[in-house]
A and B are shown apart, each in its own frame.
Chain A
């Protein structure tokens, strides 16, 4: 019996040796990782030309290249405001916009008097190639332009600057 116990002990030790010799050794390190938000951006639609005959309502024009944006957020809004870019604006001329979630004529500026910012779309979807649900359309309305306007000259081109903003309101 005593010999048997000793033989079993030897067997256990042999197994123990095997574990040590053939055991694996490990060590680890930590790699801290962060992926930051991509830079947000908005690109206005391509420049456009709209025109109207005095006393007539012009037609909507759609810029060839649409507005696009990049964002990782879903709480952003896109707004637009207009301002006269030169001194040739015509008294009584009105620039309208629609696009995004704005589907009816919305006044941006009369002569050189801008309206409040128009929210084209709210809570947009995060995207690298985001676009408005409906492309921007612009229309010049000359129904209220007098034969001899107080400012500007009939038949002479003038510019408005439209500024589009991507922001969290």
Chain B
């Protein structure tokens, strides 16, 4: 292979790299949310939240979601759950309990084109919080992370 030909191949690959970068997937998380509940009861998002995404080709993608502690200290046994997308709106899927994450949850699977999930809601459940639990009345935050990736 001549030096000229090798140089040409390199240029083609670089152009391809740029093209792939431009066509990468995108995901935009819903707006921040605030939930407040009295011990012994539950609170649910007032309005559905919307997540949007784009995909760079027709390969199947999954959107997963997980939660972790952000700022502050959660009240023990408080539960943050989610619904929407493929999870439906009839029940709730646990994301995190106190400081213990329940792991990653698939919110929507086999995505092949741009779209959105428009029915996301959260539930903060304090029904199992014990009397006198630490940090009652003090706000903390959960960071909810949405990920779009090729279907495994």
Interface residue ranges, A against B (CB under 8 Å): 2-3, 6-7, 9-10, 13-14, 16-17, 20-39, 70-74, 125-128
Contact = CB atoms under 8 A, between A and B. Distances in A.
Q: Which of A22, A35, A37, A39 has the most CB of B within 10 A?
A: A35
7 contacts: A6-B10, A30-B144, A35-B135, A37-B136, A38-B38, A71-B132, A128-B40
B32 A16 contact: no
B13 A30 contact: no
A32 B139 contact: yes
Interface in B46-91: 49, 56, 67, 70, 74-75, 78, 80
Contacts of A126: 130-132
A126 B132 CA distance: 5
B136 A33 contact: no
Contact of A72 (B30, B32, B131): B131
Interface string B7-43: 1011001101100110011111111111111111000
Contact of A33 (B21, B74, B147): B74
B78 A36 contact: no
A73 B39 CA distance: 13
A32 B132 contact: no
Main secondary structure of the interface of A (DSSP, over half): mixed
B100 interface: no
Contact of A31 (B40, B80, B136): B80
B144 to A, nearest CB: 5
Interface residues of B, number: 61
Contacts of A72: 39, 131-133, 136
Given A29-B32, A31-B34, 6 more contacts: A25-B25, A28-B144, A29-B49, A30-B142, A31-B80, A35-B135
Interface in B105-134: 122, 124, 126, 129-133
B39 A37 contact: yes
Given A14-B13, A31-B141, A25 B131 contact: no
